[in-house]
Structure 1
Amino acid sequence: MRSFYEFFAGGGMALAGLGEGWQCLLANDFDHKKAETYRANWGGDHLIVDDIRNIAPEDMPGKPDMVWGSFPCQDLSLAGEGAGLRGDRSGTFWPFIHHIQALRDEGRAPGIIALENVLGTLTSHKGADFTAICEALSSLGYRYGAIVADAVHFVPQSRPRLFIIAVRADVTAPALTISDGPKTPWHPTSLKNAFGRLPSALQDNWLWWSMPTPPQRQTKFADFVEDRPTSTKWHSASETTTLLSMMSEVNLAKVETAKAAGVKMVGTIYKRTRHEHGIKVQRAEIRFDEIAGCLRTPAGGSSRQLIMVVEGKKIRSRLISTRETARLMGLPDSYALPARYNEAYHLTGDGVAVPVVRYIAEHLFEKLISKTEPAQGRVGA
C-alpha cells in the first residue's frame, strides 16, 4: 500500500483518483465548506482544516511515498491579476515547499512530489515562476519534469492542466516512464517553450515523462445530462429567449444547425464580455461539439456554465447541474455534494479531474513507487 499527503485537498479528488491502493496519511485545506464535503466522503481523522502555514512537522505523520499539492491557481491563471507566486493564494506554494524541506531534514522526504495547476503557470511572469518552481524542487534534491493532461481524453470536458512531477534523486525511474525528448500529447509547445527558458543547470535535472496515449473516449456530454436535475431548474421560455438574444450571428447559426439536425442536441454556454465597435457587450457563446467548456469557479467574475437542449424547434436552457459538474470531473454519483449550488459548483470547478489522476498514477506514480507493505501513520476512511 502506497501512502501520500494531499495539500489543498478540496473535496479529495486526488484521493479519489489515486484509489484503493493508496492511503492518505494527511489531508489539508483551509476552506471549511470544502472540508465538510471531504469529511462526508472520506472521513476526517486525517484531515487538518487550517492554513498550510500553520501546520508543524509533528502534524505530519509517517513517511509518505508522495506529497500532492494542487496549490491555488488564481494568481497564475490568465484570468487572474498576475501576482504569480508572490500572490496571497498561489504564494502558498512556498509553505508547501517548506514542509517538504522539513520532511527531508527528518529523513522523511517523499519519493514523489506532484504539483497540479493551470497552464498559466508556464508563462506567469514570463516564465520566472515556473523557473522558481523547478529551482525549488532541484534545491530539495529532486529531478523533475512536467506533462500537460487534458481531461477531455477521459471525460467530455475541455480541461488542460499542468502536472509537475518530481522524484527524489535516489529514486530510479523505470525506462518506460521517461523518454529522450518531448512526446505528443503530453508535451505541447507551451511546455517545450517553458523548458527552453530554464537555465541550463535546471534543464540538466529535467525528465521527459512518458505515458501511453489515452484510449479513445467513448462518452459525450449528452450522456452526462440530467433530465430532472434537483440542484437547478429549467429556464422559462422567456429566459431562454433572452439567452438566445445574447448570441452573435455565428452562435445563433449553431443553434439553427442544431435545430435542423433531426436529433437531440446538447450544447454548453458561457457568457463572456466582448468588445464590439468599441462597446462592451455580454455574449452567450455556445458549443455543440459534445464537449463541455472548462468548469471554472465563480470567483473572479467567471460566469457559470449553462446548457441548451435543442430538439427540433423545441429549445430548453438552464444552468448546468451540480451533479453534471461532478460527472464531468469523473466523480461517481455516489459522491456526496454540498446542498448549496454555488458551494458544489465551486468545489467541482476548483478540483482535479479524477480519471486524469488515475491515469498518471497507473502509468507513472505506481511504477516509480512499487511499495507493497502497509503505510505507517493515519489512514483515510
Structure 2
Amino acid sequence: MVDLIDLFAGCGGMTTGFVAEGCTPVLSVEFNLPAAATYAANYGEEHTIYGDIQDVAAEQIPDADLVIGGPPCQGFSNLGSKDINDPRNKLWREYLRVVGVANPKVFVIENVDRFMKSSEFQLLLSEVESGALQDYELRYGHLNAADFGVAQRRIRTIVIGSRVGPIELPSPTHARTREAGSALEPWQGTATRIQGLPARPATTKLPDSLSDFFGVRVPGIFKGLDLHVGRNPTQLSLDRYDHVPPGGGRFNIPTELLPRCWREKPTGTTDVMGRMRWDFPSHTIRTEFYKPEKGAYLHPQWDVEGRNRVNRPITHLEAARLQGFPEDYLWCGSKIEIARQIGNAVPVGLAQAIARHVKKHL
C-alpha cells in the first residue's frame, strides 16, 4: 500500500489520479469549504481536514510514502532576499513543514506554467541546496495534459522531489500528430469525453439538496447529469455564437455584433468566444468556463448549413469530463463554487500518469 497526503487538495483531482494507481489517501488538507466537502464526499471525511494548513498540528500528520499538492504562489512577487520566513511564503513553509514531518519518499508539486520563473521556485531550489529538502533530489519541467491522454491542452509545472534516487518527469504517451513508427497515441479530441451528452440541458439549476460536512451544511451532493446545467443567453449572445465555427473565435463574428471593446482591439485574445473542436483537445478549462467571453468554451457541435448547431457554452458536467473526472464523481457547492473547483483541479489523467510513473520508483 502506498500512503498519500494531499495538501491544498481542492476537490480532489490530483488524489483521483493517484488513487486510480493504487494509492491510499491518509490525510488531505483544504481551506475552501465546498472543495473540502467535495473531497470528503468522494474520499471520506475522517482523514480530510477542512481548515488552514497552519493549524494542522504535527501530531495530525501521519507518515506517508507520497506528499502531493500545489501550494499557492503569492502573486509571483519579487521577494528580495528570498527569505523562507517571509510571511508571504507561509503556505510554502507549511508545505515544507508537512514534508519534514511525514518524511515521504517522494513529493510532487504542481503549479502554473510560469511557476519556474517565480521567486517561490527559487526559494524551493534553495531549500534543496541548504535547507529543509537537503535529502531530496529535484526534477522539474512543464507537462502538457494533452500529452498524457487528457482531452485538454493544459500546461503545468511539475516538480518531483525524491530521496530514493532521482525521478525524471514521465514521458508523453500521446502527441499532436502521430508519426510513422511512433509508439505515441494521437491527442484525444473533446468527442472522447463529451460526445453523446444531451445537446440541450434540461435545466439551468442544480437540484435542491443539502448535506452536512465538517458540521456545516453545504449544497449537494450532486453527480452525473445533475451537473449538466445550461444558461439563458441573450439573443445577441446566441447570434454571436451562431457565427463561430469549430476552432474559430471572435474574429468570425460580424463587426455589427461585436461589443465596442472587441471592435477596437483588432489583435490578441484570440480564444475569446472560441468554439471547441470534436477532433482536438480543448483549451485550458478555467474557473469561468461557462462564459464564452472568457475563452474557447462554446460546445463543439456546429455545421455549415446551420441545421445542427449547439450554441451554448459547455456545462459543468462537460467541463468536469474534460478534466478527466469520472462520471460518478460527487460534487458539493453552488454552481459558481463547483465551477471554481473544476477549473482549479489538476487534470485527472495527468495526475494518474505522474502517479504511475512515480510508483515504479517506490
**TM score, norm. by length of structure 2:** 0.72
Matched, 1:123 2:123: no
Could you tell me how far apart the structure 2 residues matched to 1:74 and 1:305 are? Answer: 28
Shift of the 281–274 alpha-carbon distance from structure 1 to 2, 3 Å rule, reads farther
The 3 A distance-change label for structure 1 pair 284 and 244 is: farther
Mapped to 2, the partners of 1:357 and 1:114 lie a distance apart of 10
Contact residue 153 and residue 282 of structure 2 kept, 8 A: yes
- Rounded Cα–Cα distance in structure 1 between residues aligned with 2:11 and 2:88: 18
**Equivalences for residues 331-346 of structure 1 within 5 A:** 331-338=325-332, 340-346=334-340
1:319 is paired with a residue whose SS is coil
Contact 2:150 2:350 survives alignment (8 Å): no
Which residue of structure 1 lines up, in the alignment, with residue 68 of structure 2?
Answer: 68
1:98-150 CA distances to partner (integer Å, 9 max, x unpaired)? Answer: 2223x1xxxx51111110000111122xxx33221111234222110113211
Please tell me whether residue 211 in structure 1 is matched to residue 175 in structure 2: no
The number of residue pairs the alignment matches comes to: 301
1:162 aligned to which of 137, 157, 162: 157
Check conservation: 2:7, 2:28, Cα contact below 8 A. Answer: yes
Equivalence map 1:36-51=2 (5 Å): 36-51=37-52
1:127-142 to structure 2, matched below 5 A, reads: 128-138=119-129, 139=131, 140-141=133-134, 142=136
Structure 1 match to 2:238: 240
Corresponding letter in the other structure for 1:39: A
Contact kept, 8 Å, 1:329 with 1:352, in 2: the verdict is yes
**C-alpha contact (below 8 Å) 2:7/2:69 kept by paired residues:** yes
Check if 1:368 corresponds to 2:361.
Answer: yes
Question: Matches of 2:30 and 2:326 in 1, distance apart?
Answer: 22
**How far apart are residue 65 of structure 1 and its match?**
0.6
State whether residues 5 and 25 of structure 2, in contact with CA within 8 Å, keep that contact through their aligned partners in structure 1.
Answer: yes
The whole-number CA distance in structure 2 between the counterparts of 1:65 and 1:295 is 30
Where does residue 202 of structure 1 map in the other structure?
A: none
Checking the alignment, whether the CA contact within 8 Å between 1:26 and 1:48 is kept in structure 2 is yes
Distance change (3 Å), C-alpha of 1:83 and 1:343: farther
The one of 278, 302, 306 equivalent to 1:310 is: 302
The answer on whether the counterparts of 1:246 and 1:284 sit within 8 Å (CA) in structure 2 is no
Aligned to 1:377: none
Distance 1:277 1:115 in 2: 38
SS at match of 1:35: helix
Query: What's the TM-score once normalised by structure 1's chain length?
Result: 0.68
Q: Give the aligned residue type for 1:239.
A: S
**Residue matched to 1:276:** 264
1:291 paired to 2:260: no
Q: Tell whether the 8 Å contact from 2:250 to 2:270 is kept in structure 1 after alignment.
A: no
Residues 16-55 of structure 1: pairs in structure 2 closer than 5 A: 16-19=16-19, 21-55=22-56
2:14 aligns to what SS in structure 1? helix
One-letter amino acid of the structure 2 residue matched with residue 310 of structure 1:
W
- Relative to structure 1, is the Cα distance of residues 324 and 73 closer, same or farther in structure 2, using a 3 angstrom cutoff? farther
- Structure richer in strand, relative to its length: 1
What SS does the corresponding residue of 1:26 show, helix, strand or coil?
Answer: strand
Change (3 A) 1:252 1:109: closer
- Residue 19 of structure 1 deviates from its aligned partner by 2.0
SS in 1 for 2:274: strand
Query: 1:167 offset after TM fit, Å?
Result: 0.7
Mapped to 2, the partners of 1:221 and 1:14 lie a distance apart of: 21
* Secondary structure of the corresponding residue to residue 45 of structure 2: coil
Aligned match of 2:190: 221
The equivalent of 1:193 in structure 2 is none
